Protein backbone atom coordinates (compact mmCIF):
# COMPACT_ATOMS: atom_id res chain seq x y z
CA UNK A 1 0.00 0.00 0.00
CA UNK A 2 1.37 3.38 -0.94
CA UNK A 3 1.90 5.84 1.85
CA UNK A 4 0.66 9.36 1.28
CA UNK A 5 3.24 12.14 1.50
CA UNK A 6 3.84 13.62 4.92
CA UNK A 7 1.35 16.49 5.27
CA UNK A 8 3.25 18.17 8.07
CA UNK A 9 4.91 21.55 7.47
CA UNK A 10 8.65 21.86 7.16
CA UNK A 11 9.95 22.91 10.55
CA UNK A 12 13.57 23.21 9.41
CA UNK A 13 13.03 26.76 8.07
CA UNK A 14 15.01 29.30 10.13
CA UNK A 15 12.82 31.55 12.23
CA UNK A 16 14.29 34.77 10.82
CA UNK A 17 13.08 33.92 7.30
CA UNK A 18 9.41 33.85 8.36
CA UNK A 19 7.89 37.32 8.11
CA UNK A 20 4.81 38.67 9.83
CA UNK A 21 2.99 38.67 6.47
CA UNK A 22 3.72 34.97 6.08
CA UNK A 23 2.27 34.31 9.53
CA UNK A 24 -0.82 36.39 8.77
CA UNK A 25 -1.33 34.58 5.47
CA UNK A 26 -1.51 31.18 7.15
CA UNK A 27 -4.95 29.64 7.48
CA UNK A 28 -6.27 28.51 10.89
CA UNK A 29 -5.88 24.90 9.70
CA UNK A 30 -2.19 25.46 8.91
CA UNK A 31 -1.61 27.10 12.29
CA UNK A 32 -3.38 24.21 14.00
CA UNK A 33 -1.20 21.67 12.16
CA UNK A 34 1.98 23.54 13.13
CA UNK A 35 0.85 23.74 16.75
CA UNK A 36 0.07 20.03 16.77
CA UNK A 37 3.43 19.24 15.21
CA UNK A 38 5.33 21.20 17.84
CA UNK A 39 3.39 19.51 20.65
CA UNK A 40 3.97 16.13 19.02
CA UNK A 41 7.70 16.73 18.68
CA UNK A 42 8.07 17.68 22.34
CA UNK A 43 5.94 14.74 23.46
CA UNK A 44 7.85 12.28 21.33
CA UNK A 45 11.17 13.66 22.51
CA UNK A 46 10.33 13.42 26.20
CA UNK A 47 7.73 10.66 26.26
CA UNK A 48 8.26 7.43 28.10
CA UNK A 49 5.16 5.61 26.96
CA UNK A 50 5.38 2.01 28.14
CA UNK A 51 4.46 -0.92 25.94
CA UNK A 52 1.83 -1.92 28.51
CA UNK A 53 0.11 1.46 28.04
CA UNK A 54 -0.02 0.96 24.29
CA UNK A 55 -1.25 -2.64 24.60
CA UNK A 56 -4.02 -1.50 26.95
CA UNK A 57 -4.92 1.28 24.50
CA UNK A 58 -5.19 -1.11 21.55
CA UNK A 59 -7.22 -3.66 23.52
CA UNK A 60 -9.69 -1.14 24.91
CA UNK A 61 -10.18 0.79 21.65
CA UNK A 62 -10.81 -2.48 19.82
CA UNK A 63 -13.42 -3.57 22.37
CA UNK A 64 -15.18 -0.19 22.35
CA UNK A 65 -15.30 0.05 18.56
CA UNK A 66 -16.58 -3.53 18.36
CA UNK A 67 -19.45 -2.72 20.73
CA UNK A 68 -20.54 0.23 18.58
CA UNK A 69 -18.93 3.11 20.48
CA UNK A 70 -17.61 5.80 18.15
CA UNK A 71 -13.85 6.17 17.84
CA UNK A 72 -13.92 9.73 19.16
CA UNK A 73 -15.76 8.73 22.36
CA UNK A 74 -13.50 5.70 22.81
CA UNK A 75 -10.38 7.90 22.61
CA UNK A 76 -11.90 10.45 24.98
CA UNK A 77 -12.76 7.73 27.52
CA UNK A 78 -9.26 6.28 27.40
CA UNK A 79 -7.67 9.73 27.67
CA UNK A 80 -9.70 10.41 30.84
CA UNK A 81 -8.66 7.17 32.56
CA UNK A 82 -5.01 7.15 31.45
CA UNK A 83 -2.61 8.01 34.29
CA UNK A 84 0.41 8.81 32.09
CA UNK A 85 0.14 12.54 31.37
CA UNK A 86 2.12 12.37 28.12
CA UNK A 87 0.00 9.51 26.80
CA UNK A 88 -3.15 11.36 27.94
CA UNK A 89 -2.11 14.36 25.81
CA UNK A 90 -1.47 12.10 22.81
CA UNK A 91 -4.88 10.44 23.14
CA UNK A 92 -6.57 13.84 23.44
CA UNK A 93 -4.79 14.92 20.27
CA UNK A 94 -5.95 11.75 18.48
CA UNK A 95 -9.49 12.42 19.67
CA UNK A 96 -9.36 15.97 18.27
CA UNK A 97 -8.05 14.63 14.95
CA UNK A 98 -10.88 12.10 14.63
CA UNK A 99 -13.57 14.58 15.68
CA UNK A 100 -12.42 17.00 12.96
CA UNK A 101 -13.31 14.31 10.44
CA UNK A 102 -9.79 13.06 9.78
CA UNK A 103 -8.66 9.45 9.84
CA UNK A 104 -7.11 7.95 12.97
CA UNK A 105 -4.03 6.99 10.95
CA UNK A 106 -3.43 10.68 10.19
CA UNK A 107 -3.30 11.44 13.90
CA UNK A 108 -1.10 8.42 14.55
CA UNK A 109 1.29 9.62 11.85
CA UNK A 110 1.92 12.73 13.97
CA UNK A 111 3.01 10.45 16.83
CA UNK A 112 4.83 7.86 14.74
CA UNK A 113 7.84 7.84 17.05
CA UNK A 114 5.61 6.69 19.92
CA UNK A 115 3.45 4.15 18.06
CA UNK A 116 5.87 2.92 15.39
CA UNK A 117 5.61 2.25 11.67
CA UNK A 118 3.91 -1.13 12.12
CA UNK A 119 1.10 0.37 14.19
CA UNK A 120 0.45 3.28 11.83
CA UNK A 121 0.47 1.19 8.66
CA UNK A 122 -1.81 -1.50 10.06
CA UNK A 123 -4.37 1.07 11.19
CA UNK A 124 -4.18 2.80 7.80
CA UNK A 125 -4.75 -0.54 6.06
CA UNK A 126 -7.67 -1.30 8.37
CA UNK A 127 -9.28 2.04 7.55
CA UNK A 128 -8.85 1.45 3.81
CA UNK A 129 -10.29 -2.07 3.91
CA UNK A 130 -13.01 -1.36 6.49
CA UNK A 131 -11.52 -3.94 8.87
CA UNK A 132 -10.42 -1.61 11.68
CA UNK A 133 -11.87 -3.86 14.40
CA UNK A 134 -9.94 -6.84 13.07
CA UNK A 135 -6.79 -4.73 12.81
CA UNK A 136 -7.02 -3.75 16.48
CA UNK A 137 -7.31 -7.44 17.38
CA UNK A 138 -4.24 -8.25 15.29
CA UNK A 139 -2.32 -5.34 16.80
CA UNK A 140 -3.22 -6.46 20.32
CA UNK A 141 -2.00 -10.02 19.69
CA UNK A 142 1.11 -8.77 17.85
CA UNK A 143 2.14 -6.28 20.55
CA UNK A 144 1.36 -8.62 23.44
CA UNK A 145 3.33 -11.53 21.97
CA UNK A 146 6.27 -9.27 21.12
CA UNK A 147 6.21 -7.79 24.63
CA UNK A 148 6.04 -11.28 26.17
CA UNK A 149 9.15 -12.42 24.29
CA UNK A 150 11.16 -9.36 25.33
CA UNK A 151 9.96 -9.65 28.95
CA UNK A 152 10.99 -13.32 29.12
CA UNK A 153 14.46 -12.52 27.79
CA UNK A 154 14.88 -9.68 30.30
CA UNK A 155 13.64 -11.85 33.17
CA UNK A 156 16.02 -14.66 32.26
CA UNK A 157 18.96 -12.23 32.21
CA UNK A 158 18.25 -10.69 35.62
CA UNK A 159 19.93 -13.49 37.59
CA UNK A 160 23.18 -13.53 35.55
CA UNK A 161 23.30 -9.72 35.64
CA UNK A 162 22.93 -9.66 39.44
CA UNK A 163 25.62 -12.32 39.92
CA UNK A 164 28.09 -10.61 37.57
CA UNK A 165 27.46 -7.22 39.18
CA UNK A 166 28.03 -8.72 42.64
CA UNK A 167 31.25 -10.38 41.46
CA UNK A 168 32.60 -7.13 40.05
CA UNK A 169 31.53 -5.21 43.17
CA UNK A 170 33.24 -7.66 45.53
CA UNK A 171 36.41 -7.67 43.42
CA UNK A 172 36.56 -3.85 43.48
CA UNK A 173 36.01 -3.76 47.25
CA UNK A 174 38.80 -6.29 47.83
CA UNK A 175 41.22 -4.42 45.56
CA UNK A 176 40.47 -0.99 47.05
CA UNK A 177 40.02 -1.76 50.78
CA UNK A 178 41.32 -5.21 51.68
CA UNK A 179 44.53 -5.54 49.66
CA UNK A 180 46.08 -2.18 50.74
CA UNK A 181 45.75 -3.16 54.44
CA UNK A 182 47.32 -6.55 53.78
CA UNK A 183 50.09 -4.93 51.74
CA UNK A 184 51.15 -2.86 54.74
CA UNK A 185 51.27 -6.00 56.89
CA UNK A 186 53.30 -7.92 54.30
CA UNK A 187 55.83 -5.08 54.01
CA UNK A 188 56.33 -4.97 57.78
CA UNK A 189 56.95 -8.71 57.89
CA UNK A 190 59.37 -8.58 54.97
CA UNK A 191 60.28 -11.55 52.83
CA UNK A 192 59.56 -12.45 49.22
CA UNK A 193 55.90 -12.57 48.27
CA UNK A 194 54.45 -15.16 45.84
CA UNK A 195 53.85 -14.11 42.24
CA UNK A 196 50.03 -14.20 42.59
CA UNK A 197 50.21 -11.86 45.59
CA UNK A 198 52.58 -9.44 43.84
CA UNK A 199 50.21 -9.31 40.85
CA UNK A 200 47.21 -8.61 43.09
CA UNK A 201 49.10 -5.88 44.94
CA UNK A 202 50.19 -4.30 41.65
CA UNK A 203 46.59 -4.26 40.42
CA UNK A 204 45.45 -2.70 43.71
CA UNK A 205 48.13 0.00 43.66
CA UNK A 206 47.44 0.83 40.00
CA UNK A 207 43.69 1.08 40.69
CA UNK A 208 44.20 3.35 43.70
CA UNK A 209 46.64 5.59 41.81
CA UNK A 210 44.72 5.89 38.56
CA UNK A 211 41.17 4.96 39.57
CA UNK A 212 39.57 8.17 38.27
CA UNK A 213 41.33 7.79 34.93
CA UNK A 214 40.25 4.14 34.69
CA UNK A 215 36.65 5.18 35.34
CA UNK A 216 36.81 7.90 32.68
CA UNK A 217 38.42 5.49 30.21
CA UNK A 218 35.67 2.91 30.81
CA UNK A 219 32.90 5.51 30.31
CA UNK A 220 34.54 6.84 27.12
CA UNK A 221 35.05 3.29 25.83
CA UNK A 222 31.37 2.46 26.43
CA UNK A 223 30.25 5.64 24.63
CA UNK A 224 32.57 5.03 21.68
CA UNK A 225 31.56 1.38 21.48
CA UNK A 226 27.89 2.32 21.50
CA UNK A 227 28.41 4.87 18.73
CA UNK A 228 30.43 2.35 16.76
CA UNK A 229 27.71 -0.27 17.06
CA UNK A 230 25.14 2.24 15.79
CA UNK A 231 26.82 2.30 12.38
CA UNK A 232 25.32 -0.30 9.98
CA UNK A 233 28.68 -1.87 9.09
CA UNK A 234 29.79 -2.33 12.72
CA UNK A 235 26.34 -3.52 13.75
CA UNK A 236 26.40 -6.10 10.98
CA UNK A 237 29.77 -7.45 12.19
CA UNK A 238 28.68 -7.55 15.85
CA UNK A 239 25.36 -9.23 15.05
CA UNK A 240 27.14 -11.78 12.86
CA UNK A 241 29.43 -12.67 15.75
CA UNK A 242 26.48 -12.93 18.16
CA UNK A 243 24.64 -15.34 15.87
CA UNK A 244 27.72 -17.60 15.84
CA UNK A 245 27.97 -17.87 19.63
CA UNK A 246 26.82 -21.26 21.01
CA UNK A 247 23.92 -20.32 23.31
CA UNK A 248 23.11 -16.67 22.53
CA UNK A 249 23.13 -17.26 18.77
CA UNK A 250 20.38 -19.88 18.95
CA UNK A 251 18.26 -17.68 21.20
CA UNK A 252 18.64 -14.61 18.95
CA UNK A 253 17.68 -16.65 15.87
CA UNK A 254 14.50 -18.00 17.44
CA UNK A 255 13.49 -14.56 18.75
CA UNK A 256 13.94 -12.97 15.32
CA UNK A 257 12.11 -15.84 13.60
CA UNK A 258 9.21 -15.53 16.04
CA UNK A 259 8.96 -11.78 15.47
CA UNK A 260 9.34 -12.21 11.70
CA UNK A 261 6.51 -14.75 11.49
CA UNK A 262 4.21 -12.88 13.86
CA UNK A 263 4.76 -9.43 12.28
CA UNK A 264 4.51 -10.58 8.67
CA UNK A 265 1.39 -12.61 9.46
CA UNK A 266 -0.28 -9.60 11.12
CA UNK A 267 0.54 -7.34 8.18
CA UNK A 268 -0.69 -9.82 5.57
CA UNK A 269 -3.93 -10.36 7.50
CA UNK A 270 -4.64 -6.62 7.19
CA UNK A 271 -4.15 -6.74 3.39
CA UNK A 272 -0.93 -4.72 3.32
CA UNK A 273 1.09 -5.44 0.18
CA UNK A 274 3.81 -8.07 0.59
CA UNK A 275 6.56 -5.65 -0.47
CA UNK A 276 5.51 -3.09 2.13
CA UNK A 277 5.07 -5.87 4.70
CA UNK A 278 8.67 -6.97 4.18
CA UNK A 279 9.88 -3.39 4.60
CA UNK A 280 7.94 -2.84 7.84
CA UNK A 281 8.96 -6.23 9.25
CA UNK A 282 12.62 -5.48 8.55
CA UNK A 283 12.34 -2.44 10.83
CA UNK A 284 10.81 -4.53 13.61
CA UNK A 285 13.59 -7.15 13.72
CA UNK A 286 16.54 -6.29 15.93
CA UNK A 287 19.26 -8.28 14.16
CA UNK A 288 20.98 -6.55 11.25
CA UNK A 289 21.39 -9.79 9.26
CA UNK A 290 17.66 -10.49 9.32
CA UNK A 291 16.95 -6.85 8.52
CA UNK A 292 19.17 -6.95 5.42
CA UNK A 293 17.80 -10.32 4.35
CA UNK A 294 14.24 -8.95 4.32
CA UNK A 295 15.23 -5.74 2.53
CA UNK A 296 17.05 -7.75 -0.15
CA UNK A 297 14.13 -10.19 -0.28
CA UNK A 298 11.79 -7.24 -0.82
CA UNK A 299 13.73 -6.26 -3.94
CA UNK A 300 13.50 -9.84 -5.25
CA UNK A 301 9.74 -9.86 -4.68
CA UNK A 302 9.49 -6.65 -6.69
CA UNK A 303 11.07 -8.54 -9.59
CA UNK A 304 8.38 -11.23 -9.45
CA UNK A 305 9.78 -13.84 -7.06
CA UNK A 306 7.64 -15.36 -4.34
CA UNK A 307 8.43 -15.22 -0.62
CA UNK A 308 10.07 -18.67 -0.52
CA UNK A 309 12.41 -17.95 -3.43
CA UNK A 310 13.28 -14.48 -2.12
CA UNK A 311 14.48 -15.91 1.21
CA UNK A 312 15.96 -19.18 -0.07
CA UNK A 313 19.48 -17.75 -0.24
CA UNK A 314 19.50 -17.09 3.53
CA UNK A 315 19.45 -20.68 4.76
CA UNK A 316 21.56 -19.82 7.83
CA UNK A 317 18.90 -17.36 9.01
CA UNK A 318 15.73 -19.17 7.94
CA UNK A 319 15.86 -22.92 8.73
CA UNK A 320 14.35 -25.51 6.33
CA UNK A 321 11.26 -25.98 8.50
CA UNK A 322 10.15 -22.35 8.15
CA UNK A 323 11.04 -22.25 4.45
CA UNK A 324 8.97 -25.38 3.80
CA UNK A 325 6.02 -23.94 5.69
CA UNK A 326 6.24 -20.69 3.71
CA UNK A 327 6.27 -22.66 0.46
CA UNK A 328 3.16 -24.61 1.54
CA UNK A 329 1.47 -21.40 2.63
CA UNK A 330 2.06 -19.79 -0.76
CA UNK A 331 0.75 -22.85 -2.60
CA UNK A 332 -2.42 -22.99 -0.52
CA UNK A 333 -2.94 -19.23 -0.29
CA UNK A 334 -2.86 -19.34 3.51
CA UNK A 335 0.62 -17.95 4.16
CA UNK A 336 -0.65 -15.56 6.83
CA UNK A 337 -2.21 -18.42 8.83
CA UNK A 338 0.85 -20.66 8.47
CA UNK A 339 3.15 -17.81 9.52
CA UNK A 340 1.00 -17.29 12.59
CA UNK A 341 1.29 -20.99 13.47
CA UNK A 342 5.05 -20.80 12.92
CA UNK A 343 5.19 -17.78 15.21
CA UNK A 344 3.46 -19.78 17.96
CA UNK A 345 5.99 -22.61 17.45
CA UNK A 346 9.02 -20.33 17.77
CA UNK A 347 7.50 -18.37 20.66
CA UNK A 348 6.99 -21.61 22.57
CA UNK A 349 10.60 -22.57 21.89
CA UNK A 350 11.84 -19.20 23.13
CA UNK A 351 9.68 -19.59 26.24
CA UNK A 352 11.17 -23.02 26.95
CA UNK A 353 14.73 -21.79 26.39
CA UNK A 354 14.20 -18.82 28.71
CA UNK A 355 12.87 -21.15 31.42
CA UNK A 356 15.94 -23.41 31.12
CA UNK A 357 18.48 -20.61 30.66
CA UNK A 358 19.13 -19.92 34.38
CA UNK A 359 19.85 -23.62 34.92
CA UNK A 360 22.31 -23.55 32.01
CA UNK A 361 24.05 -20.33 33.01
CA UNK A 362 24.20 -20.97 36.77
CA UNK A 363 27.00 -23.60 36.70
CA UNK A 364 29.09 -21.40 34.41
CA UNK A 365 28.63 -18.39 36.69
CA UNK A 366 29.43 -20.44 39.76
CA UNK A 367 32.59 -21.74 38.09
CA UNK A 368 33.71 -18.22 37.17
CA UNK A 369 32.84 -16.95 40.64
CA UNK A 370 34.70 -19.84 42.24
CA UNK A 371 37.81 -19.27 40.13
CA UNK A 372 37.80 -15.54 40.87
CA UNK A 373 37.29 -15.92 44.62
CA UNK A 374 39.76 -18.81 44.76
CA UNK A 375 42.46 -16.83 42.95
CA UNK A 376 42.07 -13.89 45.35
CA UNK A 377 42.04 -16.20 48.37
CA UNK A 378 45.20 -17.96 47.22
CA UNK A 379 46.92 -14.62 46.54
CA UNK A 380 46.10 -13.45 50.06
CA UNK A 381 46.63 -16.67 52.03
CA UNK A 382 49.81 -17.94 50.32
CA UNK A 383 52.11 -15.18 51.61
CA UNK A 384 50.89 -15.76 55.15
CA UNK A 385 52.09 -19.38 55.03
CA UNK A 386 55.33 -18.36 53.30
CA UNK A 387 56.06 -15.66 55.87
CA UNK A 388 55.16 -18.03 58.70
CA UNK A 389 57.66 -20.58 57.39
CA UNK A 390 60.35 -17.90 57.08
CA UNK A 391 59.78 -16.90 60.68
Query: Model pTM?
Result: 0.69
Ranges of residues in the chain whose predicted pLDDT is under 50: 1-26, 28-31, 33-47
- Residue 279 contacts residue 120 (beta carbons within 8 Å): no
Please report the DSSP string for 170-219 in residue order: HHHHIIIIIHHHHHHHHHHH-SPPPHHHHHHHHHHHHHHHHHHHHHHHHH
274 backbone dihedrals φ, ψ, rounded to 5°: -60, -35
For the chain, what percentages of helix, strand and coil (3-state, to nearest 5) are there? 85, 0, 15
pLDDT for position 44: 44
Domains of the chain: 28-115 (1.20.81), 141-391 (1.20.81.30)
The candidate with the shortest Cα–Cα distance to 322, out of 339, 306, 305, is 339
CB 117, CB 109: distance < 8 Å: no
CA–CA gap between residue 285 and residue 274 (Å, rounded): 16
Q: How many CB atoms lie within 10 A of CB 121?
A: 23
Q: Which candidate, 357, 356, 353, 141, places its Cα nearest to that of 261?
A: 141
Closest C-alpha among 127, 144, 141, 146 to residue 271 = 127
CA–centroid distance for 20 within its chain: 45
Supply the pLDDT for residue 29. 47
CA proximity to 257, closest of 335, 311, 318, 341: 318
Q: 123 and 135 in contact (C-beta within 8 Å)?
A: yes
Question: 196: burial class by Cβ within 10 Å (0-12, 13-18, 19+)?
Answer: middle
What is the pLDDT, as a whole number, of residue 332? 87
| Integer CA distances (angstroms), 98 to 70, 109, 121, in order | 10, 13, 17
**Burial of 379 (C-beta count, 10 Å sphere; 0-12/13-18/19+):** buried
Amino acid sequence: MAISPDPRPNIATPANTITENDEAAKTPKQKQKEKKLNISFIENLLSRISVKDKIFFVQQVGIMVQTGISLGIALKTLAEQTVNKKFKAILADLQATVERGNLLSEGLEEHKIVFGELFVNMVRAGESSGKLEEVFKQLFVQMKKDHDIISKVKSAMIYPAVVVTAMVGVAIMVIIYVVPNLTAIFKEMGGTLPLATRVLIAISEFTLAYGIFILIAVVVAIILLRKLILTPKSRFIVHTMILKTPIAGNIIKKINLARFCRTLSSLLKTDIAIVKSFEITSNILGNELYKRALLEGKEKIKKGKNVHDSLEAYSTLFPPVIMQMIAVGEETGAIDTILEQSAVFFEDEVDQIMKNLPAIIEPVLMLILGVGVGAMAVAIIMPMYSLAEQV
